[in-house]
């Protein structure tokens, strides 16, 4: 008999527990079209992604704008399977509790961060993974 022990980080434990308890959806939530991140109707299902969710921006080259503080999200994928853009303007804040991908699965992702905007990534900022094109610019 082979026994393996696994250790999970504290944040992963919290997310798993939240999902089990039902207090978080722990879903992949896809953005539709172009417009403001903080408009719930712009997201599939009509809800903003939150701390247990992965926000996926991949709607045929759309541009998502963020000019205020978005709810914390677990992961963000910009340009996964389809090209996409994220523009964070002055006063915009995005807190990613795990990973932020810009360009993923052979698609292009672009992230533009203006002066006075803030993006916090707790784990990894992944730029141009899996044969993808990516561009990150800022002031």
Residue 125 token pair: 């900022």
Q: What is the distance, to the nearest Å, from the Cα of residue 116 to the centroid of all Cα atoms in its chain? A: 20
pLDDT tier, 25 (very low <50, low <70, confident <90, very high otherwise): low
Does the pLDDT of residue 35 top 60, yes or no? yes
Q: Closest Cα partner for 70 from 33, 31, 106, 107?
A: 31
Does the pLDDT of residue 61 top 60, yes or no? yes
Backbone torsion region of residue 116, taken as left when φ is above 0, otherwise alpha when ψ lies between -120 and 50, otherwise beta: left
pLDDT tier, 26 (very low <50, low <70, confident <90, very high otherwise): confident
C-alpha dist (Å) from residue 70 to 4, 6, 107, 126: 39, 33, 24, 20
pLDDT value for 115: 95
pLDDT in tens, 64-92: 999 999 999 999 999 988 899 999 999 99
Domain ranges (residues) in the chain? 25-138
pLDDT value for 131: 63
- Quote the CA–CA distance of 131 and 108 in Å, as a whole number: 9
């Amino acid at each position: 008999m082979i026994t393996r022990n696994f250790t999970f980080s504290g944040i992963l434990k919290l997310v798993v527990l939240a999902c089990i308890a039902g207090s978080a959806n722990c879903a992949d939530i896809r953005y539709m079209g172009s417009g403001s991140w903080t408009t719930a109707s712009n997201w599939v299902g009509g809800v903003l992604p939150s701390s247990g969710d992965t926000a996926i921006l991949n709607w045929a080259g759309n541009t998502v704008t963020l000019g205020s503080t978005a709810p914390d999200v677990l992961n963000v994928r910009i340009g996964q399977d389809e090209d996409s853009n994220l523009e964070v303007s002055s006063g915009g804040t995005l807190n990613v509790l795990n990973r932020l991908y810009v360009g993923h699965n052979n698609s292009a992702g672009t992230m533009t961060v203006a002066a006075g905007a803030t993006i916090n990534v707790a784990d990894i900022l992944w730029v141009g993974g899996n044969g993808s094109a990516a561009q990150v610019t800022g002031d």
